[in-house]
Structure 1
Amino acid sequence: MSYARPEYLVDTEWVAQNLNNPDVRIIESDEDPLLYATGHIEGAVQVDWFSTLQHPLRRDFLTKEKFEEVASNLGITNDTTVVFYGDKSNWFA
């Protein structure tokens, strides 16, 4: 399988090598938010796509400003490498 921007993808080995890297933030976002409690990557934080990553009334993408607020609350800066993953083939990541 090929990807349009493969340089933006990481593999499990890369994640394992960077679990303690302070410049890396690992985020899990699942269709079913209860899955996080059943197991997740060490150090990963949970983001509920339904309540956090979409507009509450329009069910649309967040505004740039709201996304920046969410990212800041997760400890993400312009210098942070973010790894998003989740269930359903990462559909909600």
Structure 2
Amino acid sequence: MVQIGGKNYEIVQNHKEGWNPEVFRDRYSEVLERYDYIIGDWGYSQLRLKGFYRDNHPKATKDSTISSMVDYINEYCNFGCAYFVLHKSKDQPQAKAKSGS
């Protein structure tokens, strides 16, 4: 489990040991919080991050759903590159509300 930006993520795939927590934290942007999945791929020693929605998400297009991940990796990533896939956990940390008496 990885926590960043107040969100919890689970590593669901770590192809060729692509996961590097330090570099991920440096490259992470708040813009990725809207997505259900984050894919990180390596090319020329640089980590690139891309967000994907779950398949039935109302804002998703065909190319932005997780089911198109294989196409993305085959078409836009370097051949045989290391990559990882994170899935946003439904169990997010929540601030506890204090009730006054």
TM-score by length of 2: 0.29
Relative to its length, the structure with more helix (as a share) is 1
TM-score by length of 1: 0.30
Say which one has the larger Rg: 2
